């Protein structure tokens, strides 16, 4: 060894040696790792359940269209959210075709309409006659200022999933239930302190003021609005306060009927399995998730339309949603469009999607599918697809405002404040809470409007 | 207070001392248990299938030795981790980014520290003040403009975009300056110059070996810092191919939701290399991590 | 290697070439100029702008700061960060000090093993810790509730850590992660406490508590001040832990914004909403706060010397 090298090595502690070795080894490995060849069309999805559904179609498509091969990648929702924004705002690589969840879709609508990073599909949908075939309300989350930026993936009506075994054991007849008041009255015997510690363990409904989605589902069902038709915030609209007051009375005090089983967490799933929550507001996708993740509930649960807020009222709501969108950055717009139609329009895909995820198609033509009528043993033989399809035309319209996720969080803050107020004053009557609810909503409206109007880019063209 | 009065020869004190010693060990062992339980839980969770994860807190109960169903433990989670996910790529990325960054950063910081400690040149005071100022800037202040700059340089989603800004952290320069002030005598450098040694050779052959402990400590410190860095790679390294473990683990959790066995085995794989390195190089780790004290 | 004895001390050394220090400082200077100094200037400029990603900017004057000072979310973030900091200083550091006191006996067997084990959690990156902590603090199935319920049967296995006790769970996680780390600082300081002084106090009849209060604590005060400052500065940067814990729920700020920290708010505004200007304004307010705290600490330390 040359003496100079030896002297330099003298400065090396073992740590330096090990790390130098690691650096070299990792660099070599990176150079040797095969770079997967990039296919022509990049397709990102965020839901693992969709992956298996699309896989077979994708393979066939790639066989039949060697010139426009598609590569599918599964990306975490939060990461996709950031990458889409980064792609639109800074030009980092982004997919050609993407499935976008509702909570992230709106952000792209923040700037001027011509700057939206997604391709405006309105003209194509109209000229190819597709628009009329789609369940009308299911387009609303993807429509900004009259322009449609995605093909809806789903309808996602909400039903009430309940523990049929517990209900039957208690001799309860759910056919008596039309409204939430009926639900509470009829189900009341199931509300129990099971371990005898003086605390009620089993509650009737999974809901919590800290869950913005639950609040939105119930509010949409009741006809409450956070954004008006011009997409401006309207927290303080009459009617909203009454809904919040009802929900608060459900959450605390002598009228409490709710306990939170967050089924995104294993702990929440366990609460359902243990029968500590009788009913859950369940969109179609949740049925699929439960069948996959909670086999223990199989044969124990059934579905019924959501109880209405008043007699003759709406028996469903809507929760979640995904669109298929094309990005303007794509170099292959025609291929993208062909592929998009292939995976979203076909009856075969709709059937496959339903079979593996319970999600019903937004294309009315697919609603006659026999798969929707198959009895499902998980739900004691109910024809799950048919039940949801019947409710599909009634799902409420939704906003596409980029500020909706923030608005929901603010609404959730209102709810927690209201519940704290109710707890502190020992108020349990919704009527007694309404004034405070209205006060909170007005204050939230003021703060929130300040946030929305701060946006210099949206403000400028309005002047 | 904790110095036992060992100088006192009284024999009845020995009994009390023993009791006190047992108490201290008892307390310490309780603390050790609390410290280690999460690690033990992490390892057992990664080895269990989904049903067993919820059925038992630690090891699945069964007829085996110590009432544990050893045969139900499985490597399935690890298998899936590498088969279904780009985990191998993430591990290599983490090693590459951490190792290369820490090597170069150590060299650059040592050089900078040497210039400030051992050369009386015009502008030294200003530069030292800059180093001090840069060392106390909260890193989050530079996030937004840093991101904008990387974008202007066209370095978004490249390894360089992540590595370049970290190549010479100010507090490293400061640490080396202090180390060199303390352990490199000026006479040594002067006599080397008299013997006709070049400046670069003096640095590599004379100065660096003298601050060897700091070299070892700092390289470990930057390795650990880079390995555990999340926000930097999350913002700069966008494609899956470039993700280090810190970003990959967040993706894993987002996609696999309640598949806790899989998520936790990913976590275990992510922290195991650091733990191994720590057991190999404990002294450097502890010196390196606590060297931050000199910083302020 | 040349040894110093081989060179006669009387000869005057030749001066170093003028380029030498600049050559050694060059890499740092380049990085500093490009990635610290310029972004710092730019961040000041940005804080008077509104942006939609780095590509679209517009000058808005004092708008960002005006909005910031009336932004309830910013105050919420500041409050949460402050609470976590309090937890670090008043819960985690005393635990670290107690551990150091327990370990600080030269005769203690297995001292270095204990030190090693306590140190272990601080190596776990906050991202990885976030995943671990999130699953550990789940009610019913998580390690914390299950463990507490197993030890104290009266403990509610459905204790809602992640719903209603977010800050306590973050602080507990902070203790697990960093108490052993800070213990090492205290241990180093304790080794410099003179045993003669302690013995003298013992002979004067001072009990253990008095000896700690009047001898040990004043001796380690400089290091303690430093550790407090470092903990405060570190706590103010809190981001990854709560972000990772809650981001899969779609709302990283946690239920009712109880996990929103200043840096998380900066991140969300800057990179999720694309407003780098507002993010810079938040960054400056944070920097000014931290520098104020550092100045306060120095002033207190100096006052104590008299």
Q: What are phi and psi of A395, to 5 degrees?
A: -65, 140
Whole-angstrom CA distances from A366 to A135, A154, A385, C207 are: 11, 12, 11, 84
* Helix, coil or strand: residue C109: coil
Q: Which residues contact A340 (CB under 8 A, 6 or more apart)?
A: A97, A151, A324, A326
Which of C64, C83, C99 is a domain's end point?
Answer: C64
C-contacting residues in A 59-78 (Cβ below 8 Å): 77-78
CATH number at C151 reads 1.10.3720.10
The whole-number pLDDT of residue C5 equals 46
Q: For residue A396, give the DSSP letter.
A: P
The whole-number pLDDT of residue A6 equals 65
Average pLDDT, chain C: 88
End-to-end Cα distance, chain C: 48
In this prediction, residues A299-316 reach a mean pLDDT of 96
Q: Is the Cβ of A18 closer than 8 Å to some Cβ of chain B?
A: yes
Distance, in Å, from the CA atom of C261 to the CA atom of B220, rounded to the nearest integer, reads 29
Does the beta-carbon distance from C35 to B146 stay under 8 Å? yes
Is the pLDDT at A12 greater than 80? The verdict is no
Is the pLDDT at A175 greater than 80? The verdict is yes
Distance from chain centroid for Cα A202: 27
Residue C2 lies in a domain: no
Q: Which residues contact B196 (CB under 8 A, 6 or more apart)?
A: none
Distance, in Å, from the CA atom of B146 to the CA atom of C31, rounded to the nearest integer, reads 12
Residue C211 lies in a domain: yes
Does the beta-carbon distance from C143 to B187 stay under 8 Å? no
The whole-number pLDDT of residue B238 equals 82
Report the residue of chain C nearest B285, measured CA to CA: C123
- What domains can you pick out in chain A, each with its CATH number? 41-152+320-385 (3.40.190.10), 158-318+396-456 (3.40.190.10)
Q: Is the Cβ of B255 closer than 8 Å to some Cβ of chain C?
A: no
Q: Is the Cβ of A2 closer than 8 Å to some Cβ of chain B?
A: no
Angle, CA of B124, B125 and B131, to the nearest 5°: 90
The whole-number pLDDT of residue B9 equals 53
Per-position DSSP letters for A289-336, written without gaps between them:
HHHHH-GGGTTTEEEEEPPBSSTT-----B---EEEEEBTT-S-HHHH
In this prediction, residues A50-59 reach a mean pLDDT of 89
Torsion C263-C268-C272-C277 (CA) sign: negative
Which residues of A fall within a CB distance of 8 Å from C267? none
The whole-number pLDDT of residue C9 equals 47
In this prediction, residues A218-234 reach a mean pLDDT of 91
| Contact present, C82 and C96 (Cβ < 8 Å) | no
B-contacting residues in A 184-203 (Cβ below 8 Å): none
CA distance A266 to chain C (A): 7
Report the residue of chain A nearest B278, measured CA to CA: A15
The whole-number pLDDT of residue B288 equals 66
Distance, in Å, from the CA atom of B139 to the CA atom of A347, rounded to the nearest integer, reads 53
Q: Is the Cβ of C20 closer than 8 Å to some Cβ of chain B?
A: yes
Q: Residues, chain A, total?
A: 463
Are residues C271 and C159 located together in one domain of the fold? yes
Q: For residue A122, give the DSSP letter.
A: H
**Which tens digit of pLDDT belongs to each residue from B52-77?**
887 788 887 777 777 777 888 889 99
B-contacting residues in C 226-255 (Cβ below 8 Å): 226-227, 229-230, 233, 236-237, 239-240, 244, 247-248
Which residues of C fall within a CB distance of 8 Å from B206? 1-2
Which residues of A fall within a CB distance of 8 Å from B216? 13-16
Is the pLDDT at B293 greater than 70? The verdict is no
Are residues C233 and C281 located together in one domain of the fold? yes
**HSE of A54 in the Cβ direction (CA atoms, 13 Å)?**
26
CA distance A79 to chain B (A): 7
Are residues C193 and C99 located together in one domain of the fold? yes
Which residues of A fall within a CB distance of 8 Å from C271? 82, 85-86
With the CA atoms of B88, B91, B92 and B97 taken in that order, what torsion angle do they form, in degrees rounded to the nearest 10?
Answer: 160
The whole-number pLDDT of residue A423 equals 93
Are residues C135 and C217 located together in one domain of the fold? yes
As beta bridge partners, residue A118 has A327
The whole-number pLDDT of residue B291 equals 59
Q: Is the Cβ of A29 closer than 8 Å to some Cβ of chain B?
A: yes
The whole-number pLDDT of residue C29 equals 95
Is the pLDDT at C54 greater than 70? The verdict is yes
Which residues of A fall within a CB distance of 8 Å from C273? 107, 110
Average pLDDT, chain B: 86
Are residues C101 and C203 located together in one domain of the fold? yes
Distance, in Å, from the CA atom of B195 to the CA atom of B198, rounded to the nearest integer, reads 9
Residue whose C-alpha is closest to residue B3's, from C202, C114, C189, C195: C195
Residue whose C-alpha is closest to residue C277's, from A454, B48, B282: A454
| Chains linked to C by 3 or more Cβ pairs within 8 Å | A, B
As beta bridge partners, residue A163 has A301
pTM of the entire predicted model: 0.88
Residue whose C-alpha is closest to residue C61's, from C50, C72, C77, C73: C50
Residue C263 lies in a domain: yes
Q: A91 or C281: which carries more pLDDT confidence?
A: C281
Q: Is the Cβ of B115 closer than 8 Å to some Cβ of chain C?
A: yes
Distance, in Å, from the CA atom of A290 to the CA atom of A296, rounded to the nearest integer, reads 9
Distance, in Å, from the CA atom of A131 to the CA atom of A134, rounded to the nearest integer, reads 6
Are residues C26 and C94 located together in one domain of the fold? no
SS (H, E, C) chain B: CCCCCCCCCCCHHHHHHHHHHHHHHHHHHHHHHHHHHHHHHHHHHHCCCHHHHHHCCCCCECCCHHHECHHHCCCHHHHHHHHHCCHHHHHHHHHHHHHHHHHHHHHHHHHHHHHHHHCCCCCHHHHHHHHHHHHHCCHHHHHHHHHHHHHHCCCCCCHHHHHHHHCCCHHHHHHHHHHHHHHCCHHHHHHHHHCCCCHHHHHHHHHHHHCHHHHHHHHHHHHHHHHCCCHHHHHHCCCHHHCCHHHHHHHHHHHHCCCHHHHHHHHHHHHHHHHHHHHHCHHHHHHHHHCHHHHC
Are residues C160 and C138 located together in one domain of the fold? yes
Torsion B284-B290-B292-B294 (CA) sign: negative
**Which tens digit of pLDDT belongs to each residue from B134-187?**
888 888 899 889 988 998 898 988 999 999 999 999 989 999 998 899 889 999
Does the beta-carbon distance from A25 to B277 stay under 8 Å? no
Of C17, C32, C290, the CB nearest to B199: C17
Q: C4 or C199: which carries more pLDDT confidence?
A: C199
Q: Residues, chain B, total?
A: 296
| Contact present, B62 and B68 (Cβ < 8 Å) | yes
Q: Is the Cβ of A15 closer than 8 Å to some Cβ of chain B?
A: yes
Distance, in Å, from the CA atom of B211 to the CA atom of A119, rounded to the nearest integer, reads 59
Distance, in Å, from the CA atom of A204 to the CA atom of A223, rounded to the nearest integer, reads 23
Which pLDDT band, with edges at 50, 70 and 90, does A132 fall under?
very high
Q: Is the Cβ of C33 closer than 8 Å to some Cβ of chain B?
A: no
Report the residue of A75, A79, A89 to disrupt the C interface, i.e. the one with the largest count of C CBs within 10 Å. Answer: A89
Which pLDDT band, with edges at 50, 70 and 90, does C280 fall under?
very high
Residue C9 lies in a domain: no
Whole-angstrom CA distances from A284 to A165, A271, A294, A303 are: 21, 20, 15, 10
In this prediction, residues B108-134 reach a mean pLDDT of 93
B-contacting residues in C 47-106 (Cβ below 8 Å): 54-55, 99, 101-106
ipTM above 0.90, yes or no: no
- What domains can you pick out in chain B, each with its CATH number? 12-74 (no CATH), 81-295 (1.10.3720.10)
The whole-number pLDDT of residue C13 equals 62
* Strand segments (E) across chain C: 49-52, 56-59
Report the residue of chain A nearest C72, measured CA to CA: A447
CA distance C232 to chain B (A): 12
Residue C185 lies in a domain: yes
**Which tens digit of pLDDT belongs to each residue from C160-185?**
899 889 999 999 999 999 999 899 88
The whole-number pLDDT of residue B289 equals 64
Which pLDDT band, with edges at 50, 70 and 90, does A94 fall under?
confident
Which residues of B fall within a CB distance of 8 Å from A77? 254
Percentage of chain A modeled with pLDDT above 70: 95
Percentages helix, strand, coil for chain C (3-state, rounded to 5) are 75, 5, 25
Q: B269 or B2: which carries more pLDDT confidence?
A: B269
Q: Is the Cβ of A6 closer than 8 Å to some Cβ of chain B?
A: no
Whole-angstrom CA distances from A339 to A42, A333, C225 are: 11, 10, 64
Does the beta-carbon distance from B205 to A8 stay under 8 Å? yes
Q: Is the Cβ of A293 closer than 8 Å to some Cβ of chain C?
A: no
| Contact present, C255 and C137 (Cβ < 8 Å) | no
Residue C167 lies in a domain: yes
Is the pLDDT at C2 greater than 60? The verdict is no
Q: What are phi and psi of A264, to 5 degrees?
A: -75, -15
Does the beta-carbon distance from C70 to A450 stay under 8 Å? yes
Which pLDDT band, with edges at 50, 70 and 90, does A68 fall under?
confident
Total domains, chain C: 2
Distance, in Å, from the CA atom of C51 to the CA atom of C270, rounded to the nearest integer, reads 9
Which pLDDT band, with edges at 50, 70 and 90, does C21 fall under?
very high
A–B CB contacts, 8 A cutoff, strictly below: 117
| Chains linked to B by 3 or more Cβ pairs within 8 Å | A, C
Residue C7 lies in a domain: no
Of B151, B223, B234, the CB nearest to A19: B223
Are residues C279 and C195 located together in one domain of the fold? yes
Q: Is the Cβ of A10 closer than 8 Å to some Cβ of chain B?
A: yes
Q: C240 or B55: which carries more pLDDT confidence?
A: C240
Report the residue of C79, C244, C250 to disrupt the A interface, i.e. the one with the largest count of A CBs within 10 Å. Answer: C250
In this structure, of A351-360, B1-10, B95-104, B110-119, the range with the lowest mean pLDDT score is B1-10
Q: Is the Cβ of B296 closer than 8 Å to some Cβ of chain C?
A: yes
Q: Is the Cβ of C181 closer than 8 Å to some Cβ of chain B?
A: yes
Q: For residue A34, give the DSSP letter.
A: P
Residue whose C-alpha is closest to residue A317's, from A246, A395, A257: A395
Does the beta-carbon distance from C43 to B190 stay under 8 Å? no
Distance, in Å, from the CA atom of A220 to the CA atom of A316, rounded to the nearest integer, reads 9
In this prediction, residues B84-102 reach a mean pLDDT of 93
Containing structural domain, residue C148: 70-305
Residue whose C-alpha is closest to residue C99's, from C113, C83, C114, C109: C114
Angle, CA of A30, A31 and A36, to the nearest 5°: 80
Are residues C82 and C206 located together in one domain of the fold? yes
Which of C64, C98, C120 is a domain's end point?
Answer: C64
CA distance B273 to chain C (A): 11
Does the beta-carbon distance from A107 to C272 stay under 8 Å? yes
Is the pLDDT at B6 greater than 50? The verdict is no
Report the residue of A265, A294, A418 to disrupt the C interface, i.e. the one with the largest count of C CBs within 10 Å. Answer: A265
Does the beta-carbon distance from B37 to C143 stay under 8 Å? yes
Are residues C148 and C266 located together in one domain of the fold? yes
| Contact present, C220 and C183 (Cβ < 8 Å) | no
In this structure, of B158-162, C13-17, C198-202, C265-269, the range with the lowest mean pLDDT score is C13-17
Are residues C39 and C168 located together in one domain of the fold? no
Is the pLDDT at A229 greater than 90? The verdict is no
Does the beta-carbon distance from A16 to B251 stay under 8 Å? no
Residue C12 lies in a domain: no
In this prediction, residues A295-313 reach a mean pLDDT of 95
Are residues C229 and C258 located together in one domain of the fold? yes
């Amino acid at each position: 060894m040359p003496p100079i090298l030896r002297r330099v090595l003298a400065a090396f502690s073992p740590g330096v040696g090990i790390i130098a070795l690691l650096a070299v080894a990792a660099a070599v490995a990176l150079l040797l790792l095969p770079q997967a060849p990039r296919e022509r069309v990049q397709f990102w999805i965020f839901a693992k359940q969709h992956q298996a559904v699309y896989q077979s179609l994708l393979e066939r498509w790639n066989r039949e269209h060697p010139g426009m091969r598609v590569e599918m990648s599964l990306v975490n929702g939060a990461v996709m959210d950031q990458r889409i924004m980064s792609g639109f705002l800074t030009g980092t690589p982004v997919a050609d075709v993407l499935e976008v969840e509702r909570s992230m879709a709106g952000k792209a609508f923040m700037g001027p309409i011509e700057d939206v990073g997604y391709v405006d599909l309105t003209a194509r949908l109209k000229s190819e006659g597709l628009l009329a075939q789609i369940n009308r309300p299911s387009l609303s989350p993807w429509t900004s200022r009259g322009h449609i930026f995605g093909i809806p993936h789903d309808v996602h009506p909400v039903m009430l999933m309940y523990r049929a075994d517990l209900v039957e054991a208690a001799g309860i007849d759910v056919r008596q239930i039309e409204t939430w008041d009926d639900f509470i009255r009829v189900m009341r015997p199931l509300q129990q302190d099971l371990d005898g510690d003086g605390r009620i363990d089993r509650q009737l409904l999974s809901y919590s003021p800290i869950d913005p989605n639950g609040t939105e589902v119930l509010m949409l069902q009741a006809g409450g609005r956070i954004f008006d038709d011009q997409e401006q915030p309207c927290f303080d609209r009459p009617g909203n306060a009454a809904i919040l007051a009802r929900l608060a009375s459900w959450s605390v005090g002598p009228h409490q009927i709710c306990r939170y089983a967050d089924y995104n967490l294993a702990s929440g799933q366990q609460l359902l399995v243990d029968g500590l929550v009788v009913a859950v507001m369940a969109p179609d996708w949740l049925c699929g998730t439960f069948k996959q993740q909670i086999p223990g509930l199989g044969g124990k649960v059934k579905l019924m339309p959501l109880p209405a807020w008043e007699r003759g009222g709406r028996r469903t709501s809507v929760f979640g949603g995904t669109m298929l969108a094309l990005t303007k950055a794509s170099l292959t717009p025609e291929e993208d469009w062909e592929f998009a139609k292939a995976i979203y329009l076909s009856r075969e895909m709709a059937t496959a999607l339903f079979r593996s995820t319970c999600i019903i198609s937004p294309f009315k033509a697919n609603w006659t599918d026999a798969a929707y009528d198959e009895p499902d043993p998980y739900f004691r033989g109910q024809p799950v697809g048919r039940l949801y399809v019947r409710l599909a035309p009634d799902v409420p319209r939704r906003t596409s405002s980029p500020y909706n996720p923030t608005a929901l969080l603010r609404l959730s803050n209102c709810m927690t404040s209201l519940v704290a107020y109710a707890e502190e004053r020992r108020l349990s009557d919704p009527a007694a809470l309404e004034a405070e609810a209205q006060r909170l909503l007005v204050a939230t409206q003021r703060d929130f409007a300040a946030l929305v109007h701060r946006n210099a880019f949206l403000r400028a063209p309005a002047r | 207070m904790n110095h036992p009065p060992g100088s006192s020869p009284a024999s009845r004190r020995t009994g009390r001392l023993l009791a006190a010693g047992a108490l201290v060990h008892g307390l310490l062992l309780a603390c050790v248990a609390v410290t280690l339980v999460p690690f033990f839980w992490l390892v057992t969770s990664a080895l269990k299938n989904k049903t067993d994860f919820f059925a038992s807190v630690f090891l699945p109960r069964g007829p085996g030795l110590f009432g544990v169903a050893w045969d139900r433990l499985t490597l399935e989670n690890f298998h899936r981790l590498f088969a279904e996910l780009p985990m191998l790529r993430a591990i290599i990325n983490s090693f590459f980014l951490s190792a290369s960054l820490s090597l170069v950063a150590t060299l650059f910081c040592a050089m900078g520290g040497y210039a400030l400690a051992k050369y009386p040149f015009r502008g030294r005071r200003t530069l030292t003040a800059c180093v001090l100022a840069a060392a106390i800037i909260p890193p989050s202040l530079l996030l937004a403009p840093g991101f904008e700059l990387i974008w202007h340089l066209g370095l978004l989603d490249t390894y360089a975009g992540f590595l370049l800004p970290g190549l010479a952290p100010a507090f490293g320069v400061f640490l080396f300056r202090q180390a060199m002030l303390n352990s490199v005598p000026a006479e040594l450098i002067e006599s080397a110059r008299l013997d006709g040694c070049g400046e670069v050779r003096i640095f590599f052959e004379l100065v660096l070996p003298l601050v060897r402990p700091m070299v070892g400590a700092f390289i470990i410190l930057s390795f650990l810092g880079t390995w555990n860095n999340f926000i930097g790679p999350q913002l700069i390294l966008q494609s899956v191919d470039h993700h280090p473990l810190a970003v990959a683990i967040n993706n894993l959790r987002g996609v696999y939701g309640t598949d806790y066995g899989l998520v936790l085995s990913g976590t275990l794989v992510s922290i195991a290399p650091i733990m191994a390195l720590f057991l190999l190089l404990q002294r450097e780790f502890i010196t390196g991590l606590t060297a931050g004290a000199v910083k302020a | 290697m040349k040894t110093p004895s081989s060179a006669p001390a009387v000869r005057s050394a030749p001066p170093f070439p003028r380029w030498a220090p600049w050559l050694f400082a060059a890499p740092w200077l380049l990085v500093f100029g490009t990635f610290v100094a310029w972004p710092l200037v730019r961040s000041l400029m940005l804080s008077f702008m509104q942006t939609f990603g780095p590509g679209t900017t517009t000058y808005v004057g004092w708008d960002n700061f005006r909005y910031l000072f009336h932004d309830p979310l910013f105050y919420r973030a500041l409050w949460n960060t402050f609470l976590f900091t309090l937890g670090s200083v008043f819960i985690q550091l005393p635990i670290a000090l107690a551990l150091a006191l327990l370990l600080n006996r030269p005769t203690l067997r297995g001292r270095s093993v204990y030190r090693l084990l306590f140190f272990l959690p601080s190596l776990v990156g906050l991202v990885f810790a976030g995943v671990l902590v999130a699953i550990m603090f789940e009610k019913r199935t998580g390690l914390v509730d299950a463990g507490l319920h197993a030890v104290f049967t009266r403990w509610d296995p459905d204790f809602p850590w992640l719903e209603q006790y977010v800050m306590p769970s973050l602080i507990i996680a902070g203790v697990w992660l960093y108490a052993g780390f800070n213990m090492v600082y205290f241990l180093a300081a304790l080794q410099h406490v003179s045993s003669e002084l302690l013995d003298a106090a013992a002979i004067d009849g001072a009990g253990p508590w008095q000896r700690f209060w009047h001898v040990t604590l004043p001796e380690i005060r400089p290091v303690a001040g430093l550790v407090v400052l470092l903990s405060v500065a570190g706590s103010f940067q809190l981001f990854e832990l709560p972000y990772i814990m809650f981001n899969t729920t779609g709302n990283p700020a946690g239920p009712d914004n109880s996990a929103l920290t200043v840096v998380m708010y900066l991140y969300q505004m800057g990179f999720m909403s694309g407003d780098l200007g507002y993010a810079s304004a938040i960054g400056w307010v944070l920097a000014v706060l931290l520098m104020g705290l550092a100045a306060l600490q120095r002033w207190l330390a100096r006052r104590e010397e008299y």
